[in-house]
Amino acid sequence: MGRFALEAVDLGKCYRLYGHPVGRILEAVSRGRRKRHREHWALRDVNLKLARGATLGVVGANGAGKSTLLRILTGVTTPSTGVCRIEGKVGSLLELGAGFHSSFSGRDNARMNASILGLNRSEIEARLPAIEAFAEIGEFFDRPVRTYSSGMAMRLAFSVASALEPDVLLVDEVFAVGDLHFQRKCVERIFELKRRGTTIVFCSHSLYDVRQLCDEAIWLRDGRVVEHADAVTVTNDYAAFERSLDRIDVEKVLAEVPRAAGEGERPRIADARIYRAGTEEEVDRIAPGDGIEVRVWYRNPDPARTPIHVAVGFYRNDSTLCCADSTEFARLLVPGRAGCVIHRVPRVALLSGTFHVFAILFDERAVHRYDQLICRRPLVVLNRGKDVGLFLQDHSWEVRPGEEGPAAAAAEAGARARR
Amino acid sequence: METASLPIRTVRAEPPGWGSRLAQAVALPSVAARHRALLGAFVRRDIQSRFQGSILGRLWPLLHPAFLFGLYYLVFVSIIPMRFEAAGLTGNQTPPWLFLGVVLWGAFAATVQRSTAVIVDNGNLVKMAAFPSELLPLSVSLAEGVVFALGFGIYAAAHLALGLAVPAKVLLLPVLLAGLYAFSLGLAFLASAAYVFVRDTANLVSVLLLFWMFLTPIFWLSYLIDGVPPTLAAILRNNPMFHVIEGARNLCGLYDAAPLPPPLPWGSIGLVLGSGALVLLLGYAAFLGARRRFVDEI
């Protein structure tokens, strides 16, 4: 004991959901013999050990248990199973407005928070100017908190939480309501606290921030820790495997392309599969830079009446269309009653993510659709590097020390002309 | 090393047992003392907020009971001279007698009633880490204590203005009031915790308080109890609020003009102190147990 600033053992949280308020009373009266509730485990079997000064990122979809975990660590609510132990003063930024009395002024709220954290009167008064200056809310600092905009409330909350120099800081995603200037200030302040040795637990949907700020990270799904490793690995894996859109949605998106009219037997896609480039090995998990080919088998019963084109594209599972191309753009012919079209990608440029690969059979002008198919297994791209975003562009770097921009050169030329 | 002195907080899934909760409940005064500045701010805010924006502002807490007393005087002395001679009350004594009962009952009922929703209404505070939620019912009870003090000031002024005697036994009144405070606060803890889980509590509390008010001799004389069936009489006589109000009237000398002045109300004082201590201890211990799940329900 004592080596860890924060320790959680088998932490779990079960919410009881009652269909009707009466259920709670009936259950209490029957002393638990009759069960009137459904159980919802928001958190299960979470084990954590954070050394003093460590920073832990927490990523996960909405409802994965991030906020519940932070609430338990903060001590706002109690776990249903397990124990958690925290050493030192705990500062937290959980929900917006939590910890504020709406009719107290910002100043009085700052005093109240500080006194609950155990600071004495002179310590509190000494910190107030810094809190006021950091929040940058002007005269609102002396007005009741209920008159604040959500941005102002967040500014006050953050300045209070960070100025009280906590030993452990727990931050849920609250920066979202701040403007860019203040968001940057917050991140800088968190870095400063990190340098000073504050232990930080940081929940965010910004994988970039998690990666930059945190040493390690956990990925929560359905209340369980899916992965606990260094922040780069966890955020890459999270980006690769978790985004909320399944095939059904992609089918819906594709269905918006107008269908071709006409009777008789229509052209159709028999199959579409992804192979490692130049091999017969089907793949569904690759790294950026790998080569793949998408093979589309088509049948066209009457090629003379219904000439066709084939399109192949990639949808990321948050419904971002990443790229698509067709034989029409490439001015190719797709002849015959049956055949295979191969879409070759020598070097995949996509970064971490889950992608649905689809094929569409178009009419000769590539406007109307005869048929479409989504590859049965989504393509998971898993990046191990630090690059972020959708694509890795071909690029190189050059540094030219001392060179001034064209504007400076032009200004100098102007000045010379005036002389 | 200085880091060794960092406070360690451990949260367990298992709720603390009644034994440790009762032990913790005894420490209520030290919790209040530790957060006295905050408690003071809450009480000030509570009282200010009721009269904020009004022209007479701070005078209202005083004007309110003064008008009430004027009303009693007008109705019971000038319009329907009500004489409770059997109890030794003269016409002049009736308004103070009624008024004292109303002020005492008001302090009790307002504390319980207004505490009921105080946890839920201040959900933002309760969601703060380490916020001592007992401060909320506590601050309501203290604010009502201030309002009571003003009301009692009006009572005292009227008592003197009407030329009534001030007996020495009035020095025992603070003891009785301490019992009333503990009793009110204990029920306030229970009601505020119950309301978090069952929102019917607010309506239930107001109905129960209404019943309780009429079953307490505020507007009627206690000797009327002799005429009711024995079971009901036993309930009426063991009602702590009966002893608060009748005891206070006795200590203020309102019954001293009777042919047979009542003895010192030691029994009432004992019963009020005992029930107050018991209700406060159990109420606060129950509150401490329920508190762990407040945030899940708000």
Question: Do A200 and A269 reside in the same domain of the chain?
Answer: no
User: Does A182 or A32 have the greater pLDDT score?
Assistant: A182
Whether A194 contacts A213, CB under 8 Å: yes
Spatial separation of the C-alpha atoms in residues B23 and B118, rounded to whole Å? 25
Question: Do A292 and A201 reside in the same domain of the chain?
Answer: no
Segment A293-314 shows an average pLDDT of 91
Task: Return the axis-axis angle of helices B240-251 and B94-116, rounded to nearest 10°.
Answer: 140
Q: Which of A241, A267, A293 is the last residue of a domain?
A: A241
Question: Do A190 and A222 reside in the same domain of the chain?
Answer: yes
Spatial separation of the C-alpha atoms in residues A277 and A385, rounded to whole Å? 22
Does A77 score more than 80 pLDDT? yes
Please report, for the domain that includes residue A160, its CATH number.
3.40.50.300
Which residue range forms the structural domain that includes residue A163? 4-241
Question: Do A201 and A260 reside in the same domain of the chain?
Answer: no
Tell me, yes or no, whether B16 lies in a domain.
Answer: no
Residues of chain A positioned with their CB less than 8 A from the CB of B129: 74-76, 90, 92, 99
Tell me, yes or no, whether B2 lies in a domain.
Answer: no
Residue A119: how many other CB atoms lie within 10 Å: 18
Spatial separation of the C-alpha atoms in residues B92 and B80, rounded to whole Å? 13
Question: Do A237 and A206 reside in the same domain of the chain?
Answer: yes
Does A97 score more than 60 pLDDT? yes
The DSSP annotation for A246-264 comes to: -HHHHHHHHTTSPBP---S
Residues of chain B positioned with their CB less than 8 A from the CB of A76: 127-129, 295
Whether A206 contacts A57, CB under 8 Å: no
Question: Do A135 and A173 reside in the same domain of the chain?
Answer: yes
Tell me, yes or no, whether B107 lies in a domain.
Answer: yes
Residues of chain A positioned with their CB less than 8 A from the CB of B12: 78-79, 83
pLDDT at position A177 is 65
A86 with B8: Cβ contact below 8 A:
yes
Q: Does B2 touch chain A (CB under 8 A)?
A: no
Q: How far apart are the first and last CA of chain B?
A: 41
Question: Do A224 and A278 reside in the same domain of the chain?
Answer: no
Spatial separation of the C-alpha atoms in residues B181 and B115, rounded to whole Å? 13
pLDDT at position B209 is 94
Rounded to 5 degrees, what angle do the CA atoms B264, B269, B270 make? Answer: 115
Residues of chain B positioned with their CB less than 8 A from the CB of A81: 13
Q: Has the ipTM of the complex gone over 0.95?
A: no
Portion of chain A with pLDDT greater than 70, in percent: 95
Spatial separation of the C-alpha atoms in residues A19 and A28, rounded to whole Å? 15
Question: Do A236 and A258 reside in the same domain of the chain?
Answer: no
Tell me, yes or no, whether B237 lies in a domain.
Answer: yes
Question: Do A230 and A342 reside in the same domain of the chain?
Answer: no
Tell me, yes or no, whether B225 lies in a domain.
Answer: yes
Please report, for the domain that includes residue A272, its CATH number.
2.70.50.60
Q: Which residues contact A116 (CB under 8 A, 6 or more apart)?
A: B35, B38, B128, B130, B131, B132
| Unique residue bearing structure tokens 């000398």 | B253
Question: Do A153 and A276 reside in the same domain of the chain?
Answer: no
| Unique residue bearing structure tokens 């931050």 | A171
pLDDT at position B90 is 72
Does A1 score more than 50 pLDDT? no
pLDDT at position A249 is 65
Interface test with A, best of B5, B9, B200, B204 (most A CBs within 10 A): B9
Tell me, yes or no, whether A166 lies in a domain.
Answer: yes
Spatial separation of the C-alpha atoms in residues A267 and A47, rounded to whole Å? 55
Q: Does B128 touch chain A (CB under 8 A)?
A: yes
Tell me, yes or no, whether B114 lies in a domain.
Answer: yes
Q: Which of A241, A256, A272 is the last residue of a domain?
A: A241
Q: Exposure string (b/e) for A10-40, b if CB count within 10 Å is 16 or more?
A: ebbbbbbeeeeeebbeebeeeeeeeebeeee
| Distances in whole angstroms, Cα of residue A356 to Cα of each of A243, A294, B22, B137 | 12, 12, 61, 57
pLDDT at position A75 is 82
Which of A74, A79, A112 is facing B13, going by the closest CB pair? A79
Interface test with A, best of B39, B49, B125 (most A CBs within 10 A): B125
Does A39 score more than 90 pLDDT? no
Closest CA to B49 of B112, B105, B122: B122
Mean per-residue pLDDT over chain A, rounded: 85
pLDDT at position A306 is 86
Our measurement of the distance from residue A234's CA atom to the centroid of its chain's CA atoms, rounded to an integer in Å, reads 11
β A353-362/A309-316 pair status: antiparallel
> Which residue from A minimizes the CA distance to B131?
A116
Domain count, chain A: 2
Tell me, yes or no, whether B10 lies in a domain.
Answer: no
Tell me, yes or no, whether A418 lies in a domain.
Answer: no
pLDDT along chain B (298 residues), means of 10: 61 80 88 89 84 71 80 76 68 83 93 94 84 93 93 92 90 95 97 92 94 89 84 91 94 83 89 96 92 84
Residues of chain B positioned with their CB less than 8 A from the CB of A43: none
Q: How far apart are the first and last CA of chain A?
A: 75
pLDDT at position B172 is 94
Question: Do A146 and A209 reside in the same domain of the chain?
Answer: yes
Q: What is the pLDDT of residues A192-248, one digit of tens each?
A: 889 998 999 998 887 888 888 899 999 998 889 989 999 988 988 888 777 555 555
Domain count, chain B: 1
A100 with B124: Cβ contact below 8 A:
yes
B293 with A78: Cβ contact below 8 A:
yes
Q: Is the C-alpha dihedral spanning A180, A181, A186, A188 positive or negative?
A: positive
Which residue range forms the structural domain that includes residue B132? 28-297
B128 with A2: Cβ contact below 8 A:
no
Whether A287 contacts A381, CB under 8 Å: yes
Question: Do A167 and A253 reside in the same domain of the chain?
Answer: no
Tell me, yes or no, whether A390 lies in a domain.
Answer: no
Q: Does B36 touch chain A (CB under 8 A)?
A: no
Does A392 score more than 50 pLDDT? yes
Using DSSP's 3-state secondary structure scheme, residue A387 falls into coil
Closest CA to A167 of A77, A54, A244: A54
| Distances in whole angstroms, Cα of residue A140 to Cα of each of A103, A106, A185, B46 | 12, 7, 19, 21
Token pair of A81 as six digits: 């199973």
Whether A260 contacts A368, CB under 8 Å: yes
Q: Which of A200, A215, A241 is the last residue of a domain?
A: A241
User: Does B124 or A56 have the greater pLDDT score?
Assistant: A56
Whether A377 contacts A386, CB under 8 Å: no
Q: Does B53 touch chain A (CB under 8 A)?
A: no
A24 with B197: Cβ contact below 8 A:
yes
Tell me, yes or no, whether A393 lies in a domain.
Answer: no
Does A24 score more than 80 pLDDT? no
